[in-house]
Amino acid sequence: MGADCGHFAVLRGNPAAGAARVTEVALHPLAEEERAHFSWLEAAHLKAVIAALDAAEPGCARFVGGCVRDSLLGDVPKDFDVATTLTPEAATAALKAAGLGVAPTGIDHGTVTAITEHRGVEVTTLRADVSTDGRRATVAFTRDWAVDASRRDFTVNAIYLTPDAKLYDPAGGVADVAAKRVRFIGAPEERIREDYLRILRFFRFSARFCDSFDTPGLAACAALKDGMNQLSAERIGAEMSGVLSLPRASFALEAMQASGVLAEVWAADPDLAAAARMKNLEPAASAPLMLAALYGEEGGAGVGRRLRLSNAEKAMRSGALKGAASIAPAMDEASVRERLYRLGRDGFCDAILTAAARGRIGEGDYRRLKALAEAAPPPHFEISGKHVVAAGVAPGPAVSKILAAVEARWIAEDFPPQDRQKAILGEEIAKTDQ
């Protein structure tokens, strides 16, 4: 397939079956109306990385992937990836020669991370996937931009941009971005068999900016869904967290359910209507809260383990469900203050959102309760054990008992200010002296 040239193979022709739609094309400049979305080309840390690579070989580096795609969509990119004809060793040497930090974050696949101004930029050598097993690939490096494009998953992720703002679009991704369409490069079945995680990525990217799913892509995902059992829980969890965090997560989940993909990921029966209600109320609802909506307490615990939630995320999910059980439509302001004190503002808002999603309260109730929560800070109990001891009570079990009694009366009196808290403390201490 390629000729051995020292540290890498130079590939000729098209290395990937099903990638025939990738063709060599000329560079063309950004349209005038597009240029405003690419102001990041002037960012100092990005220019430093490009300058370092260009010093080793002029014209060897181009931006690729999400930063180009998102900018064409009019969004602000979060991360920046650079593709280069330099080998990983040459890229590392060039970056270090320019005084930049370098981390070998994915060296086996040709990726190093350039570090400048405390920011990381991934730099990846052009490559092809020589062989795959559905999870990982054996790669060979190349100097052919079209070959590199042919191994990528979707056309919208195979758009390159030169540092002087010229697009290289061998897979037709620019047209697909304009049409808000996510398509596999080449035959969908072949691209999925290379890495079954692409099934979940297809749903995630489609839900980000499409109004419908590409029919051949959706059919291939449904037909090959069994292959996902080869994937690690960590990879599935990371991708599904991304799906659940999307404002249009329900769009993806409904299609995943209909195609049988969701059942391959999680065996539990989801409440898709609850998830839709949650996102309608709060499009930015997080993955742990979406799990609370989708699966409740019993199913959600198992799904949370498969999603590899952190301890904090597990606590958020379970706390939202427990809090939701105490939320009622007719809660008055005093009851809201009590729940705010017990749960904190964030916990209370998670609880009412979960309660609304799972049908305990209506949308109007949710809006009213949220407004009350945002109108004033949660009550603050100012008395502590040191106040009890300072009032003459010897350290020991009596301190905790008195403190609990003071707190209970303070709550029952609807959270009076500090002077009343101190008065209640005096009254409770007096009771123990009788």
Would you tell me the crossing angle of helices 197-209 and 249-259 to the nearest 10 degrees?
140
- In 3D space, the residue among 275, 268, 200 whose CA is nearest the CA of residue 238 turns out to be 200
Indicate whether 371 pLDDT > 60.
yes
Q: Which residues contact 364 (CB under 8 A, 6 or more apart)?
A: none
Cα–Cα distance list, 10 to 88, 324, 353 (Å): 14, 59, 55
Give dist(CA 420, CA 434) in Å, integer: 21
Exposed, middle or buried, 366 (CB in 10 Å: 0-12/13-18/19+)? buried
Would you tell me the crossing angle of helices 418-433 and 397-412 to the nearest 10 degrees?
130
* Contact in structure between 208 and 246 (CB atoms under 8 Å): yes
58: left (phi over 0), alpha (psi -120 to 50) or beta: beta
DSSP 400-423: HHHHHHHHHHHHHTT---HHHHHH
Domain 188-308 grouped into CATH 1.10.540.10: no
Secondary structure of residue 190 in the 3-state scheme: helix
| pLDDT tens profile 171-205 | 999 999 999 999 999 999 999 999 999 999 999 99
Indicate whether 9 pLDDT > 60.
no
- Of residues 21 and 1, more confidently modeled: 21
Positive or negative, the CA dihedral 387, 389, 393, 397 is positive
Domain boundaries, the chain: 2-178, 188-308, 323-375, 385-433
Give dist(CA 420, CA 111) in Å, integer: 64
Give me the mean pLDDT over the 338-347 stretch. Answer: 96
Per-residue pLDDT band for 5 (boundaries 50, 70, 90) equals very low
Q: Which pair of tokens denotes residue 142?
A: 């190349």
What percentage of the chain carries pLDDT values higher than 70?
Answer: 94
Name the fold adopted by 2-178. Beta Polymerase; domain 2 (3.30.460)
Name the DSSP class of 241: H
Which residue's entry shows tokens 């059980």? Answer: 325
Give the global pTM: 0.86
**pLDDT, position 305:** 78
Which residue's entry shows tokens 């650079």? Answer: 82
| Percent helix / strand / coil, the chain, rounded to 5 | 55, 15, 30
**pLDDT, position 400:** 94
What percentage of the chain carries pLDDT values higher than 90?
Answer: 82
**pLDDT, position 306:** 78
DSSP 301-362: HHHHHHTT--HHHHHHHHHHHHHHTT--TT--HHHHHHHHHHHHHHHHHHHHHHHHHTTSS-
Indicate whether 331 pLDDT > 50.
yes
- Please state which of the ranges 3-7, 342-346, 382-386 shows the lowest mean pLDDT: 3-7
Give me the mean pLDDT over the 409-414 stretch. Answer: 94
Amino acid letter, 169: D
**pLDDT, position 133:** 67
Q: Which pair of tokens denotes residue 230?
A: 């080869």
**pLDDT, position 134:** 62
Q: Which pair of tokens denotes residue 222?
A: 């449904």
Confirm whether 2-178 and 188-308 share one CATH topology: no
Amino acid letter, 57: E
**pLDDT, position 302:** 77
Per-residue pLDDT band for 142 (boundaries 50, 70, 90) equals very high
Give dist(CA 96, CA 168) in Å, integer: 28
Q: Which pair of tokens denotes residue 364?
A: 């109007």
**pLDDT, position 197:** 96
Give dist(CA 69, CA 181) in Å, integer: 12
Cα–Cα distance list, 310 to 3, 90, 214, 273, 345 (Å): 46, 38, 34, 26, 21
